[in-house]
Amino acid sequence: MLSFKLLLITVFISLFCIVNTSLAKVRCSKIEINANESLQKLQEGNARFIKTSYRHPHQSKYRRFEVLKGQHPFAVIITCSDSRVPPDIIFDQGLGDLFVIRNAGNVSDEHVIASVEYAVCHLGIPLVVVMGHQNCGAVTAALQDAKDSKHITNLVKSIKPAVEIARRKKGDLLDNSIRYNVQIVVNELKRSKPIIAKLAKEGSIKVLGAYYHLDTGKVDFIY
């Protein structure tokens, strides 16, 4: 019995060492631009969009050949799949400028987190923005407890925690739910180990929330 316990302890220690060794091997690319500079570029681009004074940068045939060699986006944008919310247009950017992750309701899951990890670690992107938007259909579905299919039910389940918080607050229920949904995803990313949480704690990256107004085109950044 004693030898069996020793064997279990040895196996546990070996597994622990393997896991820690694998984590230690994660080496992220050097971040060349800081998050504040990235944020400023987004804000300036959104200001141009609001005024319809577009520059349409990096949309030439020369840019296509340039990004063929590799990509160096300056910000990650996680946002809704809604056709009215195209980040490249809202921020007046072009090919290779933004690393965009989209799904209904801008929710977080393993695939989203893996995409962010790749963006911040291997591409050296310093800024991650989770952007909700006015009149979000996915959040509306969560308010209505939609159950059209098992997939819709799972999506609604992801957004429900934000709805429950919003129900306890004053103000517009839908709008508050959208904003709390953003906040929850931001917090999930900041806690995501080993990569995102580590870089955020070090100050190498920033994870921010944002809210896009469909009527004005303005993006409010939530710190």
- Mind listing the pLDDT tens digit for each residue in 201-222? 999 999 999 999 999 999 999 8
Q: In the prediction, which pLDDT does 30 show?
A: 75
Cα-based torsion angle of the residue sequence 24, 183, 129, 136 in order, rounded to the nearest 10 degrees:
140
CA distances for 32 relative to 38, 154, 163, 204, angstroms: 11, 38, 38, 10
> Which pLDDT tens digit goes with each residue over 148-204?
999 999 999 999 999 999 999 999 999 999 999 999 999 999 999 999 999 999 999
Q: Which two tokens stand for residue 222?
A: 């939530």
pLDDT of the residue at 223: 74
Q: Which two tokens stand for residue 211?
A: 């809210």
> Tokens in use for 189?
């990313």
The pLDDT of residue 140 is above 50: yes
CATH code: domain 30-222 is 3.40.1050.10
Identity at 206, one-letter amino acid code: K
* Rounded Cα gap, residues 172 and 106, in angstroms: 20
What pLDDT, on the 0 to 100 scale, is given for residue 163?
98
Average pLDDT over residues 110-131: 97
Q: Using N-to-C axis directions, what is the helix angle for 195-202 and 173-191, rounded to 10°? A: 90
Residue 130, SS3 per DSSP: strand
Please report the pLDDT score of residue 151 as a whole number: 96
Query: Which amino acid appears at position 110 of this protein?
Result: E
Residue with the two structure tokens 């009527």: 215
pLDDT tens digits, one per residue of 44-91: 999 999 999 999 999 999 999 999 999 999 999 999 999 999 999 999
Distances (CA, A) of 220 to 111, 123, 211, 217: 26, 26, 5, 10
Q: What is the pLDDT confidence band of residue 25, given thresholds at 50, 70 and 90?
A: low
